[in-house]
Amino acid sequence: MLKLVLGDLTKEAANVEAIVNAANPTLLGGGGVDGAIHRAAGPELKAECQKLHGCAVGEAKLTKAYALPCNYVIHTVGPRFQGGHKREAELLAACYTNTLILAQQTGIKRLAFPSIATGVYRFPVELAAKIAVTTVKNYLAQEPTAFEMIEWVLFDEDTYRAYEKALK
């Protein structure tokens, strides 16, 4: 049920019903995975995101996937890491929980995450991986039939190894 993939989230989207965008608060695209998702989805994604009026840190919002080979994109805004004393761990866990709740409410059974907040938001990868895996496992313990498959599609070897370690 839980799986790791080394690769490009936009290309792995064909294997799932929804991908998760590690978005910025405007939801209008940016760098990293956010920019890649917006480029792959096409301009319709930005147009729909403009109607959502942004997203708070830790929250999640749903859009269509447009030119991506999945049905939906769930946008969530991770916290900027500021030393770990400003509720960053709690807010990152909320990203995963709120995404899973929204996916379940939408009927999504197969979902792919990136490593949220570990790029320009500088969340330490090993800590982020532990929070991500623990939060998802805890959710699945409460909702064991909610999902068929949840995967993390990770862009580089170091991030992959951190998630692999967290899953063990």
Share of the chain above pLDDT 90, in %: 99
Kindly give, in sequence order, each residue whose CB lies less than 8 Å from that of residue 135, ignoring residues fewer than 6 positions away: 93, 96, 97
Over the stretch 61-72, which tens digit does the pLDDT of each residue have?
Answer: 999 999 999 999
Q: Are the C-beta atoms of 132 and 89 separated by less than 8 Å?
A: no
34 an active-site residue?
yes
| Catalytic residue (choose from 8, 34, 156, 158) | 34
Q: Which domain holds residue 131?
A: 2-167
Total structural domains within the chain = 1
Whether the full predicted model's pTM is greater than 0.75, yes or no, is yes
Over the stretch 90-109, which tens digit does the pLDDT of each residue have?
Answer: 999 999 999 999 999 999 99
CATH of the domain at 73: 3.40.220.10
DSSP per-residue letters across the chain: -EEEEES-HHHHGGGSSEEEEEE-TT-S--SHHHHHHHHHH-HHHHHHHHTTT---BT-EEEEE-TTSSSSEEEEEEPPPPSSS-SSHHHHHHHHHHHHHHHHHHHT--EEEE--TTSSTT---HHHHHHHHHHHHHHHHHH-TTS-SEEEEEESSHHHHHHHHHHH-
